[in-house]
Amino acid sequence: MTIKCWPESEKPREKLFCSGASVLSEAELLAVVLSTGQRGRSAVAVARDLLLEFGDLSGVITAKIEKLQAISGMGPAKIANLKAIKEIGLRCDFIDLISKEALTNTDKAKDYLRARFCQHDIEVFSAIFLDTQHRVLAFEELFKGTIDGAAVYPREVVKRCIAHNAAAIILAHNHPSGVAEPSQADIAITAKLKQALAMIDIRVLDHLVIGANEVVSLSDRALV
């Protein structure tokens, strides 16, 4: 039975308008995002399949496109809706990050970076640019590599710092293996970048390594 045949009080969209999104189950919330089901199956039924396959809302939103395509009823439009929802959430998180008076510790940055990079299949080297008061100016993905690593060029990092008029920077990259333990190469490039940026009076506050379940701070280990 399609949702159109359901009683008004049980339709996810109508429930949302009447009582607010908080009253909806996870399957109903996903059904609103998916908008339609497939022939003979409601959007809620498709949503339940997604939750069964990926565990929870976070698992669904962060699932890889090819895995979503394998779920019956998941066409390009529905997958695009899910990926758009994920990106909207990340951008809202970044707005929250830049709205702070100052980034006095890296906890907020860790949360944001973990959400953005934990599902990447390749290594991505990025940076958060800060002003003299350690307020966030910008975030950029600077270099992308293979599953084994990313080539990092200090000259390009210096150029981006100058472009943003940054006074400090937080470096970050992910480990596609899921293991956040810094490598010797991570430590070496941190030292190289710190030296290059010191020449233009820009401080490297930290270098964060993002794994599947944790983020390691090189600053906490006295490696910055």
pLDDT at 58 over 80: yes
Phi-psi region for residue 134, left (φ > 0), alpha (ψ -120 to 50) or beta?
A: left
Backbone phi, psi, residue 125, to 5°: -100, 125
Strand ranges (DSSP E) for 145-222? 168-174, 203-210, 215-217
Q: What is the pTM of this model?
A: 0.71
pLDDT band at 186 (very low <50, low <70, confident <90, very high): very high
Q: Please, where are the H alpha helices in 55-106?
A: 57-62, 65-69, 76-98
Q: Residue 158 has what pLDDT?
A: 96
Q: Tell me what the mean pLDDT of segment 174-179 comes to.
A: 88
Cα 67 to Cα 69: distance, rounded to the nearest angstrom: 5
Tens of pLDDT, residues 10-29: 788 888 988 888 899 999 99
CA distances to 40, 110, 114, 137, 139 from 148, rounded to whole Å, are 45, 22, 19, 30, 23
Cα 50 to Cα 181: distance, rounded to the nearest angstrom: 32
pLDDT band at 174 (very low <50, low <70, confident <90, very high): very high
Q: Tell me what the mean pLDDT of segment 178-183 comes to.
A: 90
Tens of pLDDT, residues 105-134: 777 788 788 878 866 788 999 999 999 998
Under 8 Å between Cβ of 199 and 163: no
Q: Residue 170 has what pLDDT?
A: 94
The candidate with the shortest Cα–Cα distance to 116, out of 97, 136, 137, 135, is 97
Q: Tell me what the mean pLDDT of segment 56-85 comes to.
A: 91
pLDDT at 91 over 60: yes
pLDDT band at 206 (very low <50, low <70, confident <90, very high): very high
Cα 125 to Cα 208: distance, rounded to the nearest angstrom: 10
Lowest mean pLDDT segment, chosen from 51-55, 91-95, 96-100:
96-100
